[in-house]
Protein backbone atom coordinates (compact mmCIF):
# COMPACT_ATOMS: atom_id res chain seq x y z
CA UNK A 1 0.00 0.00 0.00
CA UNK A 2 1.20 3.50 -0.81
CA UNK A 3 -0.03 5.45 2.22
CA UNK A 4 -0.21 2.76 4.91
CA UNK A 5 2.80 0.79 6.09
CA UNK A 6 1.94 -2.38 8.02
CA UNK A 7 4.18 -4.43 10.31
CA UNK A 8 3.08 -7.38 12.43
CA UNK A 9 4.33 -9.16 15.53
CA UNK A 10 3.10 -10.47 18.89
CA UNK A 11 -0.44 -10.65 17.54
CA UNK A 12 -0.47 -6.93 16.67
CA UNK A 13 -0.58 -5.25 13.27
CA UNK A 14 0.85 -1.74 13.39
CA UNK A 15 -0.52 0.38 10.54
CA UNK A 16 1.36 3.64 10.02
CA UNK A 17 -0.18 6.46 7.99
CA UNK A 18 2.55 7.78 5.68
CA UNK A 19 1.25 10.77 3.77
CA UNK A 20 3.47 13.72 4.74
CA UNK A 21 3.42 16.41 5.82
CA UNK A 22 -0.02 16.23 7.46
CA UNK A 23 -1.11 12.62 6.77
CA UNK A 24 -4.19 14.13 5.13
CA UNK A 25 -7.14 11.79 4.78
CA UNK A 26 -7.50 11.44 1.01
CA UNK A 27 -9.88 9.18 -0.89
CA UNK A 28 -6.93 6.90 -1.68
CA UNK A 29 -6.00 6.61 1.99
CA UNK A 30 -9.57 5.67 2.91
CA UNK A 31 -9.44 2.92 0.27
CA UNK A 32 -6.21 1.67 1.85
CA UNK A 33 -7.80 1.58 5.31
CA UNK A 34 -10.49 -0.66 3.83
CA UNK A 35 -7.80 -2.80 2.19
CA UNK A 36 -6.00 -3.07 5.54
CA UNK A 37 -9.15 -4.48 7.11
CA UNK A 38 -9.42 -6.99 4.25
CA UNK A 39 -5.81 -7.98 4.84
CA UNK A 40 -6.04 -8.66 8.57
CA UNK A 41 -9.65 -9.77 9.10
CA UNK A 42 -8.98 -13.46 8.44
CA UNK A 43 -5.33 -13.45 9.47
CA UNK A 44 -5.20 -15.47 12.70
CA UNK A 45 -1.75 -14.07 13.45
CA UNK A 46 -3.26 -10.59 13.86
CA UNK A 47 -5.52 -10.08 16.85
CA UNK A 48 -5.26 -6.32 17.38
CA UNK A 49 -4.59 -3.35 15.08
CA UNK A 50 -2.74 -0.20 16.15
CA UNK A 51 -3.18 2.82 13.89
CA UNK A 52 -0.88 5.81 14.12
CA UNK A 53 0.76 8.45 11.95
CA UNK A 54 4.32 8.98 10.81
CA UNK A 55 5.94 12.37 11.39
CA UNK A 56 4.28 15.27 13.19
CA UNK A 57 0.62 14.22 13.10
CA UNK A 58 -1.79 11.32 13.42
CA UNK A 59 -3.85 12.98 10.67
CA UNK A 60 -4.43 16.72 10.46
CA UNK A 61 -7.63 16.34 8.44
CA UNK A 62 -9.07 15.71 5.02
CA UNK A 63 -7.20 16.58 1.84
CA UNK A 64 -8.80 19.99 1.25
CA UNK A 65 -7.17 20.47 -2.13
CA UNK A 66 -8.85 17.26 -3.24
CA UNK A 67 -12.18 18.96 -2.55
CA UNK A 68 -11.52 21.38 -5.40
CA UNK A 69 -11.67 18.44 -7.83
CA UNK A 70 -15.26 17.64 -6.79
CA UNK A 71 -17.82 19.32 -9.01
CA UNK A 72 -21.14 18.85 -7.21
CA UNK A 73 -22.77 18.31 -3.88
CA UNK A 74 -24.07 14.96 -5.09
CA UNK A 75 -20.50 13.78 -5.72
CA UNK A 76 -19.45 15.19 -2.35
CA UNK A 77 -22.27 13.28 -0.64
CA UNK A 78 -21.18 10.10 -2.40
CA UNK A 79 -17.63 10.65 -1.12
CA UNK A 80 -18.94 11.11 2.42
CA UNK A 81 -21.07 7.99 2.16
CA UNK A 82 -18.16 5.86 0.98
CA UNK A 83 -15.99 7.15 3.81
CA UNK A 84 -18.75 6.48 6.32
CA UNK A 85 -19.03 2.90 5.10
CA UNK A 86 -15.32 2.25 5.66
CA UNK A 87 -15.37 3.90 9.10
CA UNK A 88 -18.50 1.98 10.08
CA UNK A 89 -16.73 -1.21 9.05
CA UNK A 90 -13.79 -0.13 11.22
CA UNK A 91 -16.07 0.50 14.19
CA UNK A 92 -17.79 -2.88 13.73
CA UNK A 93 -14.53 -4.73 13.01
CA UNK A 94 -14.26 -8.07 14.88
CA UNK A 95 -10.73 -7.28 16.06
CA UNK A 96 -9.87 -4.33 18.33
CA UNK A 97 -8.48 -1.22 16.64
CA UNK A 98 -6.49 1.22 18.76
CA UNK A 99 -5.57 4.74 17.59
CA UNK A 100 -2.32 6.20 18.91
CA UNK A 101 -2.78 9.94 18.39
CA UNK A 102 0.01 12.49 18.48
CA UNK A 103 0.30 16.00 17.08
CA UNK A 104 -3.21 16.39 15.73
CA UNK A 105 -6.33 14.45 14.81
CA UNK A 106 -8.50 17.02 13.10
CA UNK A 107 -11.51 16.79 10.79
CA UNK A 108 -11.42 13.50 8.93
CA UNK A 109 -8.43 12.46 11.03
CA UNK A 110 -10.51 12.65 14.21
CA UNK A 111 -13.43 10.95 12.47
CA UNK A 112 -11.07 8.08 11.62
CA UNK A 113 -9.84 7.93 15.22
CA UNK A 114 -13.39 8.01 16.63
CA UNK A 115 -14.23 4.92 14.58
CA UNK A 116 -11.49 3.02 16.43
CA UNK A 117 -12.38 1.15 19.60
CA UNK A 118 -9.72 2.74 21.84
CA UNK A 119 -7.86 6.05 21.55
CA UNK A 120 -4.60 6.91 23.32
CA UNK A 121 -3.22 10.42 22.91
CA UNK A 122 -0.28 12.61 23.71
CA UNK A 123 -1.10 15.25 26.31
CA UNK A 124 -0.48 18.10 23.84
CA UNK A 125 -2.29 16.55 20.85
CA UNK A 126 -5.05 18.61 19.23
CA UNK A 127 -8.38 16.90 18.56
CA UNK A 128 -11.22 18.68 16.81
CA UNK A 129 -13.68 18.99 13.94
CA UNK A 130 -12.98 22.39 12.30
CA UNK A 131 -15.10 21.86 9.17
CA UNK A 132 -17.35 24.87 9.87
CA UNK A 133 -14.26 27.03 9.41
CA UNK A 134 -14.43 25.96 5.74
CA UNK A 135 -18.16 26.51 5.46
CA UNK A 136 -18.66 22.73 5.57
CA UNK A 137 -19.77 20.12 8.10
CA UNK A 138 -18.12 16.83 9.08
CA UNK A 139 -18.99 14.10 6.59
CA UNK A 140 -17.58 10.87 7.99
CA UNK A 141 -20.07 10.58 10.88
CA UNK A 142 -18.30 13.17 13.04
CA UNK A 143 -21.55 14.88 14.04
CA UNK A 144 -22.87 11.52 15.24
CA UNK A 145 -19.86 10.00 16.99
CA UNK A 146 -18.53 13.08 18.81
CA UNK A 147 -21.63 13.57 21.05
CA UNK A 148 -21.44 9.91 22.07
CA UNK A 149 -18.03 10.51 23.60
CA UNK A 150 -18.05 14.09 24.92
CA UNK A 151 -21.77 14.72 25.40
CA UNK A 152 -24.08 16.97 23.41
CA UNK A 153 -23.13 20.36 24.95
CA UNK A 154 -19.38 19.88 24.50
CA UNK A 155 -19.86 18.43 21.02
CA UNK A 156 -21.96 21.45 20.05
CA UNK A 157 -19.25 23.78 21.34
CA UNK A 158 -16.45 21.97 19.52
CA UNK A 159 -18.38 21.76 16.25
CA UNK A 160 -19.77 25.29 16.23
CA UNK A 161 -16.53 27.03 17.27
CA UNK A 162 -14.17 24.75 15.29
CA UNK A 163 -11.86 24.89 18.33
CA UNK A 164 -9.94 21.70 19.21
CA UNK A 165 -9.24 20.28 22.65
CA UNK A 166 -5.90 18.92 23.80
CA UNK A 167 -5.11 15.34 24.73
CA UNK A 168 -5.59 15.80 28.46
CA UNK A 169 -9.00 17.39 27.85
CA UNK A 170 -9.89 14.56 25.48
CA UNK A 171 -9.30 12.06 28.28
CA UNK A 172 -11.30 14.15 30.72
CA UNK A 173 -14.27 14.41 28.34
CA UNK A 174 -14.18 10.72 27.39
CA UNK A 175 -12.95 11.17 23.83
CA UNK A 176 -9.66 9.40 24.61
CA UNK A 177 -8.67 6.66 27.03
CA UNK A 178 -5.25 7.75 28.29
CA UNK A 179 -2.68 10.46 27.62
CA UNK A 180 1.08 10.01 27.45
CA UNK A 181 4.21 11.93 26.61
CA UNK A 182 5.33 11.85 22.98
CA UNK A 183 7.97 9.26 23.85
CA UNK A 184 5.61 7.03 25.81
CA UNK A 185 2.62 7.01 23.46
CA UNK A 186 3.49 4.25 21.00
CA UNK A 187 5.26 1.91 23.47
CA UNK A 188 2.36 2.19 25.93
CA UNK A 189 -0.20 1.61 23.17
CA UNK A 190 1.69 -1.43 21.90
CA UNK A 191 1.83 -2.80 25.44
CA UNK A 192 -1.95 -2.42 25.66
CA UNK A 193 -2.41 -4.06 22.27
CA UNK A 194 -0.25 -7.04 23.22
CA UNK A 195 -2.21 -7.45 26.46
CA UNK A 196 -5.48 -7.62 24.51
CA UNK A 197 -3.92 -9.93 21.92
CA UNK A 198 -3.39 -12.55 24.64
CA UNK A 199 -7.13 -12.77 25.28
CA UNK A 200 -9.41 -15.29 23.56
CA UNK A 201 -10.17 -14.05 20.02
CA UNK A 202 -13.65 -15.53 20.30
CA UNK A 203 -14.37 -13.69 23.55
CA UNK A 204 -12.87 -10.46 22.21
CA UNK A 205 -15.05 -10.61 19.09
CA UNK A 206 -18.16 -11.32 21.17
CA UNK A 207 -17.35 -8.38 23.44
CA UNK A 208 -16.99 -6.04 20.47
CA UNK A 209 -20.28 -7.34 19.08
CA UNK A 210 -22.03 -6.67 22.40
CA UNK A 211 -20.66 -3.13 22.59
CA UNK A 212 -22.54 -2.35 19.37
CA UNK A 213 -25.80 -2.70 21.28
CA UNK A 214 -24.87 0.17 23.60
CA UNK A 215 -25.39 2.81 20.88
CA UNK A 216 -28.54 4.89 20.42
CA UNK A 217 -30.85 3.36 17.85
CA UNK A 218 -30.98 6.60 15.85
CA UNK A 219 -27.23 6.76 15.27
CA UNK A 220 -27.15 5.22 11.81
CA UNK A 221 -30.12 7.32 10.74
CA UNK A 222 -28.06 10.34 11.77
CA UNK A 223 -25.07 9.10 9.78
CA UNK A 224 -27.19 8.87 6.64
CA UNK A 225 -28.63 12.33 7.20
CA UNK A 226 -25.12 13.68 7.71
CA UNK A 227 -23.70 12.55 4.39
CA UNK A 228 -26.75 13.94 2.59
CA UNK A 229 -26.34 17.30 4.35
CA UNK A 230 -22.62 17.16 3.58
CA UNK A 231 -23.42 17.27 -0.14
CA UNK A 232 -25.97 20.09 0.22
CA UNK A 233 -23.53 22.24 2.19
CA UNK A 234 -20.78 21.60 -0.38
CA UNK A 235 -22.91 23.25 -3.06
CA UNK A 236 -23.03 26.54 -1.12
CA UNK A 237 -21.01 29.63 -1.98
CA UNK A 238 -19.71 29.62 1.59
CA UNK A 239 -18.15 26.18 1.13
CA UNK A 240 -16.36 27.28 -2.05
CA UNK A 241 -15.10 30.38 -0.22
CA UNK A 242 -13.99 28.38 2.82
CA UNK A 243 -12.04 25.86 0.77
CA UNK A 244 -10.39 28.55 -1.36
CA UNK A 245 -9.51 30.59 1.73
CA UNK A 246 -7.82 27.55 3.24
CA UNK A 247 -5.77 27.05 0.08
CA UNK A 248 -4.95 30.78 -0.05
CA UNK A 249 -4.00 30.75 3.66
CA UNK A 250 -6.40 33.59 4.53
CA UNK A 251 -9.52 34.03 6.67
CA UNK A 252 -12.76 33.15 4.87
CA UNK A 253 -15.50 35.68 4.25
CA UNK A 254 -18.84 33.91 4.46
CA UNK A 255 -22.03 35.46 3.00
CA UNK A 256 -24.64 32.94 4.05
CA UNK A 257 -25.38 31.54 0.58
Residues noted as catalytic: 111, 131
DSSP per position, the chain: --SEEEEEETTEEEEEE--TTTT-B-HHHHHHHHHHHHHHHT-TT--EEEEEESTT-SB--B-HHHHTT---HHHHHHHHHHHHHHHHHHHT-SS-EEEEE-SEEETHHHHHHHTSSEEEEETT-EEE--GGGGT----SSHHHHHHHHH-HHHHHHHHHH---EEHHHHHHHTS-SEEE-HHHHHHHHHHHHHHHHTS-HHHHHHHHHHHGGGS-TTHHHHHHHHHHHHHHHHTSHHHHHHHHHHHHTS-------
Strand 97-101 and strand 104-106: pairing?
Answer: unpaired
**Within 13 Å of residue 251, how many CA atoms lie on the same side as its CB?**
1
Q: What number of other Cβ atoms are within 10 A of residue 69's Cβ? A: 9
Amino acid sequence: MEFLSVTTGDGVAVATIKRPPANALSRALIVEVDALLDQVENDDAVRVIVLHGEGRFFSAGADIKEFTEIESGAEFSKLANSGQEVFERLERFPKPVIAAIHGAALGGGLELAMACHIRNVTANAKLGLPELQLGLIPGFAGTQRLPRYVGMPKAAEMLLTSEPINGEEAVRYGLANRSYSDEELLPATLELARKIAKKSPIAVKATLDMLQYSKPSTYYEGVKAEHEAFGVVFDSEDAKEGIQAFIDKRDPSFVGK
